[in-house]
Chain A
Amino acid sequence: MSRSHKIAAFVMTILSGIAFYCFFAFRYPYHLHFQEQYQLFESTWSYFAGVAAVPGGLADWAGRFITQFCYYAPLGAVLMAVLLCAVQLLTWAACKRRTLALYALSFIPAALLLVFYCDENALAGAAVALCLSLGVAALCQLVLGDRVRHILQVILVPLLYMACGGLAVVFVLISAFREAERCGFRRALPVIMGMVALAALLPAVASRIFPYPPGRLYYGVHYYRYHNILPGLLWSAALVSVAVAALSCTRQRVLPTRWGIVPGLVLFAGIAALGTLLTGKAADAGKEEWMRYDFMVRMQMWNRIMMRADAHNPDSPKTVSCLNLAMGMTGRLADSQFEYFQNGPDGLVPPFSGDYTNPVSTGEVYWHLGMVNTAQRFAFEAQEAIPDFQKSARFYKRLAETNIVNGDWDVARKYLKALHHATFYRAWADETAALLDKGTIFEKRPELARARDLRLKEHDFLFSETEMDSMLGLLKVENAANGMALDYLMAWCLLRKDLDRFVECISMMTAPVMPKAYQEALLLRWVLTHSDFQGLPAYIAPAHAQRISRFIADVKAGKSEDEMLHTYGDTYWFYYYYRSR
């Protein structure tokens, strides 16, 4: 390529790198946190040996190594951008003929991978595996002696298969095209046949050794979190990279070298536009929003949650439960609950479901309420449900905490020891272990002391989601200071529209001022059971009585739901009549 073409190519790569970074750093940062929390990368030989011991294990290990840095999303975004740029550059490196148009085409695999990584179950090891395959294919072409190169290529197939799994076929196909072009098809036929035969047979042989079905050993063990799903986009990216390399071996008529800079730039712009379009379609804003809330709950950023909710009212049970937790933790649940969208009791404490995402933030609710065993169960279950059988640093941390509070310090030490080997958790784990040794853990860790104080000590029974009100009530009865349990109990009754139970529970309140939502609920019950406001308790402000009168009048006048939402959207009455019907 001419100097101007080289400069153009350099600019393309830099621009795409910036675009990749911006996507992950600004559009998808919480997906990076999400990825990080579903693994526990340990810097030990035994961890490496365990991960690398299966086909594709080395790439998987390297992917996990990169993913651990997603603990800090900007750093994770840089690494993901570098990884995707590496895919592009290595695709280019695997090409024979060098034209700017071909350079532009080498962005397609990276663009497809970007779309692939919009899926939260796509694992970083997949891109590493593709890089390895492309890189080794490119390096092999540097060996000048045909015979040595051919021997090397055949030897490398099983090694690459072990290192990067099924994507080793990219190496095989690119090498086949390059050798056919370089030595002539007839001369290259033996090495091509050798490599293809090895690539076809290796997974079948591996299925006798490794405990995976043959299908998985062909399409990859650790490219995607769910093992029974073929990662189509990944394989499309891999095949496109092969196609680009194959194209570079074709005759000049296709993408001729005489083409100037413009066709290359146009191709690049087209690929960038298509990539942007596909990424925009694939990126799941709803999931990113939930991951944002979950991250903020994990980091206990209660005020940030409220600010976010003020800007974008959450509407899914998972996000609403995070908002309610933030309000509960800051003592604002009773007052402000109905100022935000509520979707019933499931938005307060979502019911248990046996997958790896749902129990996560629900477990946080139980932890902060003082239901330590339930928090432990949810953390454990979420971890067990991780489809690719990885462990989670976040859940190990929580399990260490719950075991400390439960007095099971030997078990807690086990989790702490594992966390000691995780870069971003080591300091916390070491400090916690030292505090356990000194016996000052509860003095130095107030959140653990809080959980210990709030938890049930006198009562024991089997957890039942249908008896949530009883459990919350007992938490309050055993510990009068557990105001959050009472707030949740009242909220539970209100969200279930169980006004009788609400009135029964209100006797547990000791606050001098009746919160707004409670006044509204009491007024509503009064209206439902009385004909006028005579004898209305003094703790209900007259303004609320006047407002409910207007509410009733407006309902009778047949005002639309939108109008009612506009005027009464912050009241319990609106929830009672228009939500969770």
Chain B
Amino acid sequence: MKRTLILLVAVLSLAACGPKAHDAVPAGSLPDIYPDYIGVTVPATIAPLDFMLEGAEALDVRVAAPDGTVLRSSGSCTRFSEKKWAALLRKSVGDSVRVSVCGRFDGQWKAFEPFGIFVSPDAIDYGLTYRLLEPGYEIYSHMGVYERDLSSFRQRALLENTQFDGCVNCHASRQGDPGTWTLHIRGSHGATLLRLNGEIGAYNTKTDSTLGFCVYPYWHPSGRYIAYSTNNTRQGFHVGQDKLIEVFDLDSDIQVYDVENNQLITAPQVKLPDIWETFPVFSSDGRTLYFTAAAKVEIPGELPQSRYSLMKVSFDPETGTIGKDVEMVLDAADYEGSICFPRPSYDGRYLMFTLCDYGTFPIWHHEADLWLLDLETGENRRLDEVDSDDTDSFHNWSSNSRWFVFSSRRDDGLFTRLYIAHFDENGQAGKPFMLPQRDPKHYYEDLFRSYNVPEFVTGPVPFDKIRAQKAINAPERVKFGFRWSD
């Protein structure tokens, strides 16, 4: 016993004689951390921004609030206490926390230049919903729709395809309202689920007068309508080196679903035979319907010539009438690119979209970037503050339009990860930060699924997966009615 104690003391003494973080030599540079949180702007309610230091055997990190409160973490990566982190950020609202990083390399500690993380006074929504699925081709494996609480690391499955035969497809809530939801299911149990007033219904959205099933949804701010595209979508697979997949439409139209009257409404001007119309969204006041449109080309030969422009048409929410005059907002030809996923900010000032070289599915285009259109001034610019060398694509605004989330393949070129960026009142975006995870390096390295269709939600989604499962597995479907717009 005595001998063991002596041995223990000796070992501890030896360990104490080793180099310590406070003996660190200055590195003279900023740390190379993963994820890159240097200089980002975050909301006060974000989960701890844990990170690791590339190439380091260990790190020692101090996060200091302006009032001098310090939060410390060390190990192979940081592991900040959620409670203490939240308290630290609360104290730092409107200011920056200062992060000092020491790393041990070959037994020698190095102290890196400290960096700041700005804690914005702008609130962010409760969480995100997104799909997780393999970035695959035609066949799908395990997938689902999940909800993530942004103030913690908690992720909850809302619906997974282990519950039924099929694919969990596009989902959308009304401006982040967790109670109003639509979700499309593909496969042998195909249906569109609508969650309205606490009830889940399974619908057959295909009518005799429309092209096919409803695909890309967007809620009207009143909650009475949902704009849908209907697309005859196909995939093609590149044989050459740089690209893998093309997803394209052979046909597509725009339609609006009247929730109250269970009726699809469309009009000839958004259902032109020689034009592909897709990605419909309502303006924040609900009186304009934006969408993208391209002249039909021969597929697959002329696919690189398929370029979608941004269009708009008026919409009367009182009567559910689509306006007669379709107006071009942005001409794709001016940008030598194709406009996808238009998303107006909920404050009505901006419209964000993805621009890629051609087509309607930018996630497989490495050149895809986010762009911003000022709806007041008409000024249009690439969002250089957030764009990367790889795919930056599907995006959505927070309910107060001060944050946006987007999907990006900047991490490894294939697996889509989520980034959140602040957006100030002057239309400037902050440096985006990766969705925090407890051990981000291992989490993202081990995750073989991509994030898809991220959306903010203002509270936990009250989604009863058992009822949803029953509705999906039951054969009954409520059929959509149809009428032409006046």
Chain A contacts to B: CB under 8 angstroms: 46, 207-208, 211-213, 227-228, 354, 371-374, 376-377, 380-381, 383-386, 389, 391, 406-408, 410-411, 414, 417-418, 455-457, 459-463, 471
Contacts and interface: CB of A to CB of B under 8 A. Distances in A.
Contact of A460 (B157, B243, B445, B469): B243
Nearest to B446: A46
Interface string B350-374: 0000000000000000000000000
B38 interface: no
A406 B241 contact: yes
Contacts of B82: none
B469 A213 contact: yes
Nearest to A461: B239
B242 interface: yes
A381 B241 CA distance: 19
A381 B445 contact: no
B446 A211 contact: no
A459 B413 CA distance: 22
Contacts of A383: 141
B237 A462 contact: yes
A418 B413 contact: no
Interface stretch (B44-52, B132-140, B201-209): B132-140
A460 B241 contact: yes
A9 B247 CA distance: 64
Given A211-B163, A373-B244, A384-B136, A414 B238 contact: no
Contacts of A376: 244
Contact of A208 (B140, B411, B466): B466
Scoring A376, A410, A418, A471 by chain B CB atoms within 10 A of each residue's CB, the highest score goes to A410
26 contacts: A207-B466, A211-B144, A211-B160, A211-B162, A211-B465, A212-B163, A213-B163, A213-B164, A228-B165, A371-B239, A372-B241, A381-B136, A381-B138, A383-B141, A410-B413, A411-B413, A411-B415, A414-B445, A414-B448, A417-B446, A418-B446, A456-B240, A457-B241, A460-B243, A462-B237, A463-B237
Contacts of B445: 414, 417
A371 B446 CA distance: 28
Contacts of A372: 241
Contacts of B138: 354, 381
Contact of B240 (A46, A213, A391, A460): A460
B134 A384 contact: yes
Nearest to B242: A460
B142 A389 contact: yes
A461 to B, nearest CB: 6
Nearest to B469: A213
Contact of A384 (B139, B165, B414): B139
A463 B415 contact: no
Contacts of A228: 165
A478 B241 CA distance: 13
Contacts of A462: 236-239, 246, 300, 303
A386 B134 CA distance: 13
B141 A384 contact: yes
Interface string B235-260: 01111111110100000000000000
Contacts of A460: 238-243
Interface in B108-149: 134, 136-142, 144
A417 B446 CA distance: 8
A373 B165 contact: no
Given A211-B144, A384-B141, A457-B241, A408 B413 contact: yes
B137 A380 contact: yes
Given A354-B139, A408-B413, A463 B165 contact: no
Contact of B300 (A407, A417, A461): A461
Interface in B320-366: none
B241 A389 contact: no
B151 interface: no
What is the interface residue range for chain B against chain A? 35 or more
B139 A411 contact: no
Contact of B137 (A212, A381, A456): A381
A407 B140 CA distance: 25
B142 A456 contact: no
B379 interface: no
Given A376-B244, A410-B413, A213 B238 contact: no
Contact of B239 (A411, A418, A459): A459
A192 B466 CA distance: 30
Given A211-B162, A461-B240, A461-B300, 11 more contacts: A46-B446, A211-B157, A211-B465, A373-B239, A373-B240, A381-B137, A384-B139, A386-B141, A408-B414, A456-B241, A459-B239
Rank and list the top 5 A-B pairs by shortest CB-CB distance, nearest first. Answer: A460-B240, A462-B236, A410-B412, A389-B142, A384-B139
B269 interface: no
B314 interface: no
B76 interface: no
Contacts of B142: 389
Nearest to B234: A462
Contacts of B246: 462
B176 to A, nearest CB: 25
Scoring A213, A372, A418, A462 by chain B CB atoms within 10 A of each residue's CB, the highest score goes to A462
B359 to A, nearest CB: 12
B288 interface: no
Contact of A463 (B139, B163, B236, B412): B236
Contacts of A411: 412-415
A160 to B, nearest CB: 22
Contact of B139 (A227, A381, A391): A381
Nearest to B144: A211
A48 to B, nearest CB: 13
Given A376-B244, A410-B413, A463 B162 contact: no
Nearest to A417: B445
Nearest to A354: B139
Contacts of B160: 211
B139 A385 contact: yes
Nearest to A371: B239
Contacts of B74: none
Scoring B163, B239, B473 by chain A CB atoms within 10 A of each residue's CB, the highest score goes to B239
Contacts of B414: 408, 410-411
A389 B132 CA distance: 14
B135 to A, nearest CB: 9
B38 to A, nearest CB: 21
Contacts of B465: 211
Contact of B241 (A213, A377, A386, A455): A455
Given A373-B244, A380-B136, A381-B138, A389 B162 contact: yes
Contact of A213 (B140, B300, B473): B473
Nearest to B159: A211
A377 B238 CA distance: 10
A391 B142 CA distance: 10
Contacts of A407: 241
A376 B239 CA distance: 10
Nearest to A407: B241
Contacts of B446: 46, 417-418
Contact of A373 (B237, B415, B466): B237
Contacts of B157: 211
A538 to B, nearest CB: 38
Nearest to B248: A462
Scoring A385, A406, A414 by chain B CB atoms within 10 A of each residue's CB, the highest score goes to A414
A227 B163 CA distance: 10
Nearest to B444: A414
